[in-house]
Amino acid sequence: MNNSTKKKSLPLAGQIFIALVLAVIVGLLMQSHADFTAKYIKPFGTIFLNLVKFIVGPIVLFSIMAGVVSLRDIKKVGQIGGTTIIYYFCTTAVATAIGLAVANIFRASFPALSTSSLTYEAPASSSAMDVLVNIFPSNFLVPITESNMLQVIVMALLIGFAIIMLGEKVAPAIDGINRWNDIFMKCMSMILALSPIGVFCLLCPVVAANGAMVVGSLAKVLLAAYIAYLLHAIIVYSLTVSTLGGMNPVKFFKGMAPAIMFAFSSASSVGTLPINLECSQKLGASKEVASFVLPLGATINMDGTAIYQGVCAIFIASCYGITLTPSQMITIVLTATLASVGTAGVPGAGMVMLAMVLASVGLPVDGIALVAGVDRIFDMGRTTLNITGDASCAIIVTNRLRKRNK
């Protein structure tokens, strides 16, 4: 018994941290063999990420349905959704402002990079009506197979509401949903046991390919972004979790450690969703709240991405010799906040938003080419902040519901 206890003594957070440190060390040592890491180490990380993505769709579908039917009140679901969306929009706006403020402090020290030969083809952006239409699924299976979280959430809500309205005569369906939810949760825990291996295989090739570049010409831009990420986490999340969530911020960040480290290495909000669900519930977020708030956050809550928009907009403007006016900065805050809706929580999604933000204030979209080479390094930090914000919301909404029910 003692031996088995000793074997299990190292928690998942510790295992992931060791894997992360090893990935950085091995990646730095393998910089001259970056192609080898991309060919023979990265595929194992991709396999792990594929397994995580495979489980995300069913987890979100069944956990939200289970949460909705357990509430047994459509009005209560509306209250949770309303609070969640307001919180996400407010923190995203604050995040963009922090990004702009920090970038302006660093502006004088940003490197003067040549813009004469830049070309960048901006990805197609969707209109507001297209985003609205795309929220609603036209097929039952496609949203799950493509990990379109907004559509999966809509499906789960519709089915959950239907079950609530049909009442006791569909009691076997409620039992079935709960059983399937348990099955997929167990499947998730089996996959998450492989997290340390996945983290190592995902991060090592990134360090091998970008290690030298990080200390190069874009180091100060990256530093500005990461300082803004930290400020937002320490100030905004600590403040909201302690005042609105009734939780010690130290306890919150400590409990979020496994999800934070996984998000940093995978750079995928959707991929981190299963482990974020686990961490949030261990911290005290109710199952029905976490299963609704976190998938929604993985899709529309982009605090880290909003900071990235602010920092990159100032940097690109400085490279072109342009000084942004206060009204242009307000436009950036509004555009980044609204553009966060419908942006998929997968690696590289920030580039689509950045193109929209630059276009909104008349900056050359070609400037994205200046930061595209190290986008993955930006992405690791912004994804970490995004998922931490999702979890803070789950804690806050749970606390508000408990106070109402007293």
Is the pLDDT reported for residue 27 higher than 60?
yes
Mean pLDDT of 10-35: 85
Which residue is listed with tokens 């400590």?
Answer: 254
Confidence grade of residue 54 (pLDDT, cut at 50, 70, 90): confident
pTM of the model: 0.80
3 has a pLDDT exceeding 60: no
| pLDDT class of 344 with cuts at 50, 70, 90 | very low
Per the structure block, which two tokens stand in for 378?
């930006």
Short-list 212, 185, 368, 193, CA closest to 287: 185
pLDDT-based confidence at 347, cuts 50/70/90? very low
State yes or no: pLDDT of 283 exceeds 80.
yes
> What was the pLDDT predicted at 112?
67
215 has pLDDT over 70: no
pLDDT band of residue 118 (cuts 50, 70, 90) is: low
Locus of tokens 């590289």: 348
Answer yes or no: are the C-beta atoms of 279 and 387 closer than 8 Å. Answer: no
Burial class (CB in 10 A: 0-12, 13-18, 19+), 376: middle
The DSSP output letter for 368 is G
Mean per-residue pLDDT for 208-218?
68
pLDDT tens digits, 368-385: 877 877 778 888 899 999
Lowest mean pLDDT across 12-26, 65-79, 154-168? 65-79
Q: What is the mean pLDDT of residues 300-312?
A: 88
Q: Give me the pLDDT at residue 379, please.
A: 86
In this predicted structure, what is the pLDDT of residue 378?
Answer: 87
pLDDT of 49 over the 60 cut: yes
Residue 119 pLDDT: 55
- Which residues, including other chains, have CB under 8 Å from residue 16's CB and lie 6 or more apart? 195, 196, 199, 258, 261, 262, 265
Tell me: pLDDT of 255 over 70: yes
Return the pLDDT at 6.
Answer: 43
Asked whether residue 360 carries a pLDDT value surpassing 90, the answer given is no
Percentage with pLDDT > 90 across the chain: 28
Q: Are 340 and 310 in contact (CB under 8 A)?
A: no
